[in-house]
């Protein structure tokens, strides 16, 4: 049994979710080949080759794969699929965009967002916004799987680099074209990879207060900034800050939830955090119930005090 891992990358660097998906792929008990589908993507391939447990890196380098649109990337996966028993990708925007298409073309079901490998054909995955865990046994001969990164440790770098093999690409017919992308730039750590996340909710009251109260604390802690959907919908924080069922899934070492209630849809995105701190004036708030530590009181008093104590 050999597993193909479709890497998440931006051609120059490997996304951190790839190393986590690699840990899941290795639990399938077979050799893992990492597929780098991109354009001028040799640096990403070299980074993948260094990861422990990678038997081989396949580099598919072609302008049609530049932005990893679903159609050409899925066509490539399908072209390679005959040599593999399982095709795995991190459940990132790219993985979730490409793999369902590949699964449909291969006429197998996709097993989405796994959090545990029970056996090579049996997996656990959260359903109902994380309120139940489903065990899925697949009888498909080829497994197509996306991996929830927060549930697996990142594979470390190994001692020897795996070989990199170039794969020929036949540009596929495509109904889509890349138009543009606008990436938000920030000096803070990326939300899904950060060790510490400081997250704010509706209680912040305005974008001015959100920035004034949360950002200095986040900067002192070298933390990423997150937000509840209510804070995002009210315009206090940008969309890409949203944590939860319809936002990002995070599992940092420390999650500080400030003035947010901890609705189930929010918990779905952060309840695997190692240590959760709630700052809330309501001791019955759901976030307080699941927090390891709670500070009950007005955030506008507590945060400046915390800020001062941090120096
Ligand atoms: C399909 C669907 C998907 C959703 N997806 C998401 C998602 O991905 N992420 C998400 O977050 N939500 C999501 N939601 C919305 C979710 O149900 C809640 O409405 C939202 O999370 C509430 O945000 P909040 O906790 O900031 O606000 P509230 O629920 O209004 O909570 C505010 C909290 O602040 C506390 N507070 C108020 N003033 C202060 C103060 N001065 N000091 C300290 N504490 C104070 C209150 O006690 C309260 O606990 C989704 C909903 C649906 C239906």
Residue 211: the pLDDT is 97
Partners of 2 in the beta sheet? 31
Structural contact between residues 80 and 113, judged by C-beta atoms closer than 8 angstroms: no
Residues 79-93, mean pLDDT to the nearest whole number: 96
Residue 174 has pLDDT above 80, yes or no: no
Atom of ligand 1 nearest to the CA of 201: 26
Residue 268: the pLDDT is 93
Residue 300: the pLDDT is 97
Confidence of residue 172 (pLDDT cuts 50, 70, 90): confident
Residue with tokens 């639990």: 27
Q: What is the per-residue pLDDT across 179-227, written as a single tens digit (0 to 9) for each?
A: 998 877 788 888 988 999 999 999 999 999 999 999 999 999 999 999 9
Q: Give percent of the chain above pLDDT 70.
A: 100
Backbone φ and ψ for 296, nearest 5 degrees, come out as -95, 120
Residue 150: the pLDDT is 86
Atom of ligand 1 nearest to the CA of 285: 49
Positive or negative, the CA dihedral 189, 225, 112, 70 is negative
Query: In testing the pocket of ligand 1, which one of 192, 235, 246, 297 has its CB within 8 Å of the most ligand atoms?
Result: 246
Which residue minimizes the CA distance to atom 26 of ligand 1? 201
Residue 222: the pLDDT is 95
Atom of ligand 1 nearest to the CA of 245: 8
Query: In testing the pocket of ligand 1, which one of 202, 264, 278, 288 has its CB within 8 Å of the most ligand atoms?
Result: 202
CA 52 to ligand 1 centroid distance, Å: 40
Q: What is the per-residue pLDDT across 140-163, written as a single tens digit (0 to 9) for each?
A: 999 999 999 889 999 999 899 999
Residue 279: the pLDDT is 98
Asked which of 76-90, 149-163, 284-298 is least confident by mean pLDDT, the reply is 149-163
Atom of ligand 1 nearest to the CA of 299: 42
Q: Where in the chain is the domain with CATH 3.40.50.1220?
A: 191-309
CA 261 to ligand 1 centroid distance, Å: 5
Q: Looking at domain 3-166, what is its CATH homologous superfamily?
A: HUPs (3.40.50.620)
Burial 245-262 (b: 16+ CB within 10 A, else e): bebbbbbbebbbbbbbbb
Structural contact between residues 44 and 36, judged by C-beta atoms closer than 8 angstroms: yes
Please indicate whether residue 201, judged by its CB atom, sits closer than 6 Å to ligand 1.
yes
CA 20 to ligand 1 centroid distance, Å: 29
Query: In testing the pocket of ligand 1, which one of 131, 228, 286 has its CB within 8 Å of the most ligand atoms?
Result: 228
Which residue minimizes the CA distance to atom 35 of ligand 1? 259
Please indicate whether residue 200, judged by its CB atom, sits closer than 6 Å to ligand 1.
no
Please indicate whether residue 266, judged by its CB atom, sits closer than 6 Å to ligand 1.
yes
CA 262 to ligand 1 centroid distance, Å: 6
Q: Where in the chain is the domain with CATH 3.40.50.620?
A: 3-166
What are the DSSP E strand ranges found in 154-292? 164-166, 196-200, 224-227, 254-258, 275-280
Q: What is the per-residue pLDDT across 116-132, written as a single tens digit (0 to 9) for each?
A: 999 999 999 999 888 89
Q: What is the mean pLDDT of the chain?
A: 95
Cα(71)–Cα(139) distance, rounded to whole angstroms? 26
Burial 154-188 (b: 16+ CB within 10 A, else e): ebeeeeeebebeebebeebeeeeeeeeeeeeeeee
Residue 82: the pLDDT is 96
Confidence of residue 15 (pLDDT cuts 50, 70, 90): confident
Tell me the CA end-to-end span of the chain in Å, nearest whole number: 55
Q: What is the per-residue pLDDT across 26-47, written as a single tens digit (0 to 9) for each?
A: 999 989 999 999 999 999 999 9
Residue 60 has pLDDT above 80, yes or no: yes
What is the three-class DSSP state of 306?
helix
Structural contact between residues 116 and 100, judged by C-beta atoms closer than 8 angstroms: no
Residue 147: CA count within 13 A, CB half-sphere:
31
Residue 16: the pLDDT is 86
Structural contact between residues 166 and 38, judged by C-beta atoms closer than 8 angstroms: no
- Residue range 191-309, CATH number: 3.40.50.1220
CA 231 to ligand 1 centroid distance, Å: 8
């Amino acid at each position: 049994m050999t597993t193909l891992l479709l890497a998440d990358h931006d051609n120059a660097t490997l996304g951190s979710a790839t190393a986590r998906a690699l840990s899941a792929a290795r639990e399938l008990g077979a050799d893992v080949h990492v597929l780098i589908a991109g354009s001028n993507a040799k640096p990403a391939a070299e980074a993948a080759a260094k990861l422990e447990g990678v038997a081989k890196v396949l580099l598919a380098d072609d302008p049609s794969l530049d932005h990893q649109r679903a159609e050409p990337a899925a066509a490539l996966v399908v072209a390679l699929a005959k040599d593999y028993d399982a095709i795995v990708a991190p459940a990132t925007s790219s993985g979730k965009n490409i793999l369902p298409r590949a699964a449909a073309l291969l006429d197998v079901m996709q097993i989405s967002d796994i959090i545990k490998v029970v056996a090579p054909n049996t997996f656990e995955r959260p359903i109902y916004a994380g309120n139940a865990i489903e065990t899925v046994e697949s009888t498909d001969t080829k497994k197509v799987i996306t991996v929830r990164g927060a549930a697996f440790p990142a594979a470390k770098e190994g001692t020897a680099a795996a070989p990199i093999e170039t794969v020929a690409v036949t540009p596929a017919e495509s109904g889509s074209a890349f138009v543009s992308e606008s990436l938000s730039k920030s000096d803070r750590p990326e939300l899904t990879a950060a060790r510490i996340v400081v997250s704010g909710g509706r209680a912040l009251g305005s974008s001015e207060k959100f920035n004034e109260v949360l950002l200095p604390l986040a900067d002192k802690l070298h933390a990423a900034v997150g937000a509840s959907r209510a804070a995002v919908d009210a315009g206090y924080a940008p969309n890409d800050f949203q944590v939860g069922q319809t936002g990002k899934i995070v599992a940092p070492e420390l999650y500080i939830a400030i003035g947010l209630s901890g609705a189930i849809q929010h918990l779905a995105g952060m309840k695997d955090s190692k240590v959760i701190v709630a700052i809330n004036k309501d001791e019955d708030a759901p976030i307080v119930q699941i927090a390891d530590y709670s500070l009950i009181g007005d955030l506008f008093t507590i945060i400046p005090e915390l800020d001062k104590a941090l120096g």
